[in-house]
Structure 1
Amino acid sequence: MPAPQRVGEPSLVARIAAELRPEFGGEVIFVDPSDPIMGGPVCKVGECDRIGVLAGMCKAHHLRWVATGRPEAESWASTAPPNIRWLAEPPACKVVGCRRARDDRDLCHTHLLRWRRQGCPDQQAWFADPGGPALRRGGPCRFRGCGLDAEGEAGLCRTHRSRWIGRGRPAIEEYLRDCEIFGRDCFDLRRMPPLMRIEVAYAIQRRVDERRTKTRPDLLHRLLVQLPESGVTSILDRSPAEWTAALGFSTRRGSIERRFLLDAIGYITDLIEGVGWDAEYPRDVWLLRRIGYPGRDTAIRFDGIGPMWLRALTKRWTRWRLSTGIGIATVVADVRAVTLFAQSCPSLQRGPEALTREQIEAHLAHLAVRYPDAKTRTGQIGTLAGLLRAARQHCWEPRIDGGVDIYREDYPRRMLGAPRALSETVMAQLELEDNLARFRDPRGRLIAKILMATGLRVGDACRLPLGCITRDEQGAPYLHYTNHKMRRDAFVPIGVDLAAAVGVQQQSVLAATPSGTCLLPRPTRNPDGHFGFSPATFRGELAEWLRACDVRDELGQPVHVTPHQWRHTFGTRLINNKVPQETVRRLLDHSSHQMTSHYARLSDKTIRDQWEQAVKVNVAGKTVAPNSGPLAEAVWMKNNLARAQMALPNGYCALPIQRSCEYANACLTCPMFVTTAEFLPEHRRQLDATRTLIERAEQHGQQRVAEMNRTVEKNLLSIITTLDQPDSCGSRCASCDCTTTDTQGAGHTDAR
């Protein structure tokens, strides 16, 4: 891509130069090995101050170590000499008062000739009194760190002058600069054109200021050699795609250099085009880094929305939503949904007046074909409804017809999905310590333990602060975290084992990065430990771990596990262990019981077990034992289905599902009738009514009617007597733990 400023190029140079600090303004940028961005671990050789890039050594010492046969590294490094020994000040002439470099016999060249002319007397005495006039003092040698006198026009001492001549007498300034940077880690930008040089220097400075990505000289050496040979004067003279092709970058080769070049282009364009809302809002592609959001290349694109009025409305709506704290991913998805709506309604080009209910209905039809999944389609429709609602609420576009809206009936019906909790067969494998030990990264292992033990969302777990353990007055540990979805702090109790594992991780973080703020810092682009572990990275590690552990379900099939399924499993375990739903809601930090019921669902086994806790009796007042054996579960499912058809007012029918009943609804004389204590009030009312019928029948001489009702009276007395026993749950089932769900009774139909 061409440089944005060709005529005003000097002004671009001036703008960049004004941003550069002195340490980045020279042709050579020297590196402090202790710098977390430009530097790294110092070479193991004690007197070497270069970065240890290979086996803890600088490149020069690593080559020498390999040449000696790779001995034990620590002992070899303790005796190895530094790389810059020849750059030290040369030895001076031993004649008292002489500051010239030695030539031979511990004497400078001039004193050596004088000593030989005098017949080579004893040197020790001669050093003190060489005879003749003292040598004329010259200026200091121009070589950095050399304090000897210069000799000759080059301004160097004899030793450094000899080395300069041996190099072919290059330009003296270039030679001195080469000597200065020899043995030191630095970015050498001398070969670059002036504009390109300050662009690269500015990019290095920005990288250092951001404190995210390692930018060592050895990582960029090849790029800094290739750029001057590219034939351009600015990195903006080519587009990123052109640079990738010209320099031979690929996803596997040159990724570090390519990323630096892309960042450099971004830094310079940001400087030229400006940052902040005033500069970015008018554009049709918003780079989020320019408006204060993290991300290098993340953008919101409005250029796919053809109608200009709709594009302007969407941009205003998007800015407002970002200001209210809506997440980036949600906002980007909303803009895509509006883009799809604009593309499916070409007539909107005529203006806001062209938006009609008919067009919305046509768009709904397109969505039904394109997105069969009701959940996805609901999101698309909800976006359009939100845009129209905000436009009316804030009077952003008064030309839109007030009758154009999205109604509740426009949304597809969503079926309640199957429970997402993992089975206990799978969880037993996931919680096995031997399997957890197979996690490649200790941070990933700790995240998995936290998710299984607390039900946190993976994003909240990855961003836990370093000091996330809180204890109550009894010393019980709690995990203090931020519920980012609800934007509030929350606490969840944890076990002592998990608290101990968190403590070990805290000590590990403090040892690596004393200024760290995250319990689980990301391993890359995070020298200060201020950025949390990436959920995407954890998902990748989780998939790798599942393959390594060969986790399988009840059918022997490999299991696919998502981090969020552990949240469902946590809630389901609690609710099936009789934890009150309000407690489960608070542990999951939900705002409504409806959401908690979506996560925590009772299993059929729990319902069956709770029903068996209730007392069930037949018409004779005898306790009915629950079904057991191989067919127990099948009977349970059959009875669940039958009960769904019709319930009796005072109990349940244990007959199989059928179309006829020989007792003709005379349930209290039917041997298949069963009941529980919850129906005691109805039984007492029926007993009173039955006794009244018996009394009237005897008064009118209806002995057959009285005899039939005495059987009913006898059965009712037996039922009431049994259900009134202290070990039954009585009539308190509405408030106790038992659940009056039948495991034996079947439905009672009108067709019997």
Structure 2
Amino acid sequence: MSGAALRALPNPDEGDHSWADVLRGAVRAEFQVDVYRPAPGDPVLFGPTCAVRACPGRGVNRSLGLKAKGANHSTGTRFRGYLCLSHVRVWRRDGEPPIDGWVRNARLTGRGQSPPVGCIVSACRRSARSNGFCNGHMSRWVSAGRPLDKTAFANAATAVRVSDGRCEVPACGFPPVRRDGFCDTHTQRYFNARSRRVGLSAAGYLALIAGARRIIAPRFDMRGLPAVVGLELALALQCRQQAGRAAILPLAFGQVVRWLRDIGAESVLERSEAFWVASARQRFPASVRGNPLGWLRFVRQSALRLREREGGLEIWGFDTWPVDRLDIDGRYAHQPGRRIYFSEIDPPWLRALVKRWARWRITTGTKSPASIACTTSSIRRFCRWAEEEHVTLTTPAAITRPLLERYLTSVRQLDRSVGRKSSLVTDLMSRPGFTETCCLGFLSRQWERGEPDRIA
């Protein structure tokens, strides 16, 4: 889709409205943020959570699986055995013990993030504050002279007073012991944090805990992008969540964000599929290219579906034609290409004529979508070459024989197969007996004869 076409989409009921307005109306408010943070438990955008209890990190390493050996070999539950990167390092440092037992005793890796443990007095429901005791039993133990046999003391001790409710710290199930609403363990941690941060309030301590957990939780950062591109990425996140498809890695999302930022794209639809594929080949090595390119394609597909639904145009007016909308009876379902691209065919008069020619060919059944896509690709290549040569194609008269001969010379120098170079030429240049399939030459003659209605 050209940049000019993105600025306004015709709507029969409301008049012209911008593509950005269409996106804002389609994207839910929760996604219209600079940084989207999915909620834990979201299987698509958050993904599997770390198997360590109370760890808010995203499980990115499946330590259990078909390649694991011994006790760690498992083909069980989908998210079983997933660990965040921090706990993967700790687990490997511990010698990769059986994961089922290890995760029950593993501590959180962030400072102050480890879950509290209960008081060693079996009858006590409170969390431990010091020496394995809650604050109440710690006072009793000190009053008893700090006996060395803490186990015997704990077995003989009776329960202390317990408040109703739960600690204010998320994921903590122990009862509170102070007006601040914290359990014994978090009360001690709050005092420690307040000693380092004078004037720290209980709300501030909770904010510190939340901030530490957010660091290791997945996020999708769209800061620094133009408004339209950010909304297109947000739309794709929303569509991915609604579809319940495979989880999207924040790493791949970040790669796409940096890619779009470096290119300076105003929209993912302003360039053709071929441009993005070529750009991905230049930017990413083959071993890691699949994830960012696949995600960018999903972003484009989500935006194209929205445009088709909200644009108020017939498919023939689109700059990208989905083959499944053209192929009603499934005649061309075997063809791998599923879209025909007219973007990057400039000037507009040429794009309009190529669309009319393509529509005529498809409706009469004389060319398949794959063949049409090959021709439009050749014409896009010619338009890009003309732009590089600073040639302005104002009218068909600008496409002269000397110009085509110059283009022929440049095609011969391309590092392409003989067949591809042949199609780049035959799709443009008229030869005796080849007038019906030579798109550019045929359209130019129709224009010169004043007979454009013949191909409508």
TM-score by length of 1: 0.34
Q: Does 1:331 align with 2:369?
A: no
Offset of 1:111 from its aligned partner? Answer: 3.7
Q: Distance in 1 between matches of 2:450 and 2:208?
A: 73
Structure-to-structure mapping, 1:463-502, within 5 angstroms: none
Q: Distance in 1 between matches of 2:375 and 2:304?
A: 26
TM-score by length of 2: 0.50
Q: Distance in 2 between matches of 1:173 and 1:13?
A: 33
Unaligned runs of 5+ in 2: 9-16, 51-57, 65-70, 109-113, 272-281, 328-335, 413-417
Q: Does 1:251 align with 2:284?
A: yes
Structure 2 contact 337–370 (Cα < 8 Å) conserved: no
Offset of 1:257 from its aligned partner? Answer: 7.5
Given residue 300 of structure 1, which amino acid in structure 2 is its aligned partner? F
Given residue 320 of structure 2, which amino acid in structure 1 is its aligned partner? W
Structure 1 contact 27–197 (Cα < 8 Å) conserved: no
Deviations along 1:192-251, one digit per CA (max 9) or x if unpaired, are 699898765543454577899873245556778x79xx8xxx9869x99xxxxxxxx933
Offset of 1:148 from its aligned partner? Answer: 0.9
Structure 1 contact 39–216 (Cα < 8 Å) conserved: no
Q: Distance in 2 between matches of 1:296 and 1:154?
A: 61
Offset of 1:315 from its aligned partner? Answer: 1.2
Give SS of 2:320's match.
Answer: strand
Q: Distance in 2 between matches of 1:286 and 1:18?
A: 28
Greater relative contact order (CA < 8 Å, ≥ 6 in sequence): 2
Give SS of 2:436's match.
Answer: helix
1:115–1:314 distance in 2 versus 1, CA, 3 Å: closer
- 1:90 aligned partner: 117
Q: Does 1:266 align with 2:300?
A: yes
Structure-to-structure mapping, 1:558-707, within 5 angstroms: none
Larger radius of gyration, structure 1 or 2? 1
- 2:153 aligned partner: 123
Offset of 1:149 from its aligned partner? Answer: 1.0
- 1:636 aligned partner: none
Q: Distance in 2 between matches of 1:332 and 1:383?
A: 19
Please, which of 8, 26, 30 is the counterpart of residue 46 of structure 2? 30
- 1:633 aligned partner: none
Please, which of 24, 28, 31 is the counterpart of residue 17 of structure 1? 28
1:127–1:207 distance in 2 versus 1, CA, 3 Å: same
Q: Distance in 1 between matches of 2:358 and 2:267?
A: 30
Given residue 341 of structure 2, which amino acid in structure 1 is its aligned partner? A
Q: Distance in 2 between matches of 1:63 and 1:25?
A: 24
Given residue 284 of structure 2, which amino acid in structure 1 is its aligned partner? T
Q: Distance in 1 between matches of 2:140 and 2:356?
A: 90
Number of aligned residues: 355
- 1:215 aligned partner: 248
Q: Does 1:102 align with 2:133?
A: no
Given residue 166 of structure 2, which amino acid in structure 1 is its aligned partner? P
Q: Percent identity?
A: 16
Offset of 1:155 from its aligned partner? Answer: 2.9
Structure 1 contact 151–158 (Cα < 8 Å) conserved: yes
Give SS of 2:157's match.
Answer: helix
Unaligned runs of 5+ in 1: 241-248, 351-358, 405-752
Offset of 1:277 from its aligned partner? Answer: 8.8
Offset of 1:91 from its aligned partner? Answer: 0.8
Q: Does 1:286 align with 2:320?
A: yes
Structure 1 contact 40–51 (Cα < 8 Å) conserved: no
- 2:165 aligned partner: 139
Deviations along 1:421-443, one digit per CA (max 9) or x if unpaired, are xxxxxxxxxxxxxxxxxxxxxxx
Q: Distance in 2 between matches of 1:182 and 1:84?
A: 19
Structure 2 contact 59–85 (Cα < 8 Å) conserved: no
Please, which of 338, 342, 357 is the counterpart of residue 317 of structure 1? 357
Please, which of 63, 72, 88 is the counterpart of residue 43 of structure 1? 63
Q: Distance in 2 between matches of 1:199 and 1:335?
A: 26
Structure 1 contact 141–148 (Cα < 8 Å) conserved: yes
Give SS of 1:203's match.
Answer: helix
Structure-to-structure mapping, 1:176-575, within 5 angstroms: 176-177=209-210, 187-189=218-220, 200-206=233-239, 215-220=248-253, 250-252=283-285, 255=289, 259=293, 262-263=296-297, 266=300, 269-270=303-304, 273-274=307-308, 279=313, 281=315, 285-286=319-320, 288=322, 299-301=341-343, 303-304=345-346, 308=349, 311-322=351-362, 324=365, 326-335=367-376, 348=396, 381=431, 384-386=435-437, 399-400=450-451
Deviations along 1:10-60, one digit per CA (max 9) or x if unpaired, are 88445211797xxx98466421379xxx9877223859999899xx97633
Q: Distance in 2 between matches of 1:106 and 1:345?
A: 82
Q: Distance in 2 between matches of 1:43 and 1:90?
A: 26
Deviations along 1:106-151, one digit per CA (max 9) or x if unpaired, are 53213432554477798367523x6xxx636143013343221123
Give SS of 1:314's match.
Answer: helix
Q: Distance in 2 between matches of 1:208 and 1:191?
A: 17
- 1:513 aligned partner: none
1:43–1:286 distance in 2 versus 1, CA, 3 Å: same
Give SS of 2:128's match.
Answer: coil
Offset of 1:63 from its aligned partner? Answer: 2.7
Structure 1 contact 43–50 (Cα < 8 Å) conserved: no
Deviations along 1:686-732, one digit per CA (max 9) or x if unpaired, are xxxxxxxxxxxxxxxxxxxxxxxxxxxxxxxxxxxxxxxxxxxxxxx
1:79–1:94 distance in 2 versus 1, CA, 3 Å: closer
Give SS of 1:30's match.
Answer: coil
Give SS of 1:137's match.
Answer: coil
Structure 2 contact 119–127 (Cα < 8 Å) conserved: yes
Q: Distance in 1 between matches of 2:344 and 2:252?
A: 37
Structure 2 contact 218–250 (Cα < 8 Å) conserved: yes
Structure 1 contact 50–58 (Cα < 8 Å) conserved: no
